[in-house]
Structure 1
């Protein structure tokens, strides 16, 4: 019993010393991190991540707001692989290209229909009527009633 109490007191003292040795990160090094992060040297980024990792072992209420924001940005911010694919203004450029392609394809379709020559011979009215007569003679259309057996 006494041994457990002493061990707990030692652990509390050790963790208090460890937490006391972790100093707050200077506000200047984490201010405006969103704009500076990708231009910072790799070793500076790694040291900042290490300091933030140490600070995050503290109770969350002991971290400053700037440290919380910096930790969030490093973990979930839009840098590296999470950078947006399209920059500002590129979406409208892509939309213009899609609309131009659509207009060209519609124009080509209309031009081919207008000046493409004769219609296919199976598209005229006589062909369609002869097809209907042939289907009636063979009872080949189950949806229209040609092949239905009429019971008496």
Structure 2
């Protein structure tokens, strides 16, 4: 199997009428039509692995020349084959899935909030030690018993809340 260099698709036309974007890779392994380098992005997925390898090798040969001599289509094709979103660089997440992820997260947070609200509605009332009166009574008892007389509620000039939440 010989690998051909990029050749003009039409040899009968005068040189001035043959645009560099019509350069093609002829596949001798298969009898399919030549692959145009100018639109390699659209053709790449439909190519067989042998044709992809042939195009890749042809573009490697082209890149050995001076880059100023290459056409814009040849440069684009070389870049796409080397760094395009195919093979191991195929995106894992399809485009447009950000909206699905956003609404999925909003849904999960909403369900969690609903579960929390339902759980709280069936929960017993807070214990009696969490009432304000109980906490004030605890502060008075600590003053009377002189609990922590250096920096606590029983200290002189204490301005904190003590046990009140």
Q: Pick from 108, 120, 130: which aligns with 1:101? A: 108
Structure-2 change in CA distance of 1:59 and 1:121 (3 Å):
farther
Structure-2 change in CA distance of 1:137 and 1:77 (3 Å):
same
Q: Pick from 135, 141, 148: which aligns with 1:138? A: 148
Give structure 1 stretches of 5+ with no counterpart.
Answer: 1-20
SS in 1 for 2:116: helix
Query: 2: distance between equivalents of 1:127 and 1:38?
Result: 75
TM-score (norm 1): 0.64
Query: 2: distance between equivalents of 1:37 and 1:23?
Result: 16
1:36 aligned residue? 43
Q: Pick from 91, 111, 117: which aligns with 1:110? A: 117
Query: 1: distance between equivalents of 2:140 and 2:43?
Result: 75
Structure-2 change in CA distance of 1:138 and 1:69 (3 Å):
same
The 5-angstrom pairing of residues 1-150 of structure 1 reads 23-24=6-7, 26-27=23-24, 28-120=35-127, 123-126=130-133, 128-129=135-136, 130=138, 134=142, 137-138=147-148, 145-146=151-152
SS in 1 for 2:108: helix
Query: 1: distance between equivalents of 2:140 and 2:88?
Result: 61
Query: 2: distance between equivalents of 1:56 and 1:133?
Result: 89
Would the aligned equivalents of 2:38 and 2:74 in 1 still touch at CA under 8 Å?
Answer: no
Deviation at 1:103, TM superposition (A): 0.6
Structure-2 change in CA distance of 1:23 and 1:82 (3 Å):
closer
Aligned residues: 125
Give structure 2 stretches of 5+ with no counterpart.
Answer: 9-22, 25-34, 157-165
Structure that is richer in helix per residue: 1
TM-score (norm 2): 0.60
Query: 2: distance between equivalents of 1:52 and 1:92?
Result: 38
Would the aligned equivalents of 1:139 and 1:146 in 2 still touch at CA under 8 Å?
Answer: yes
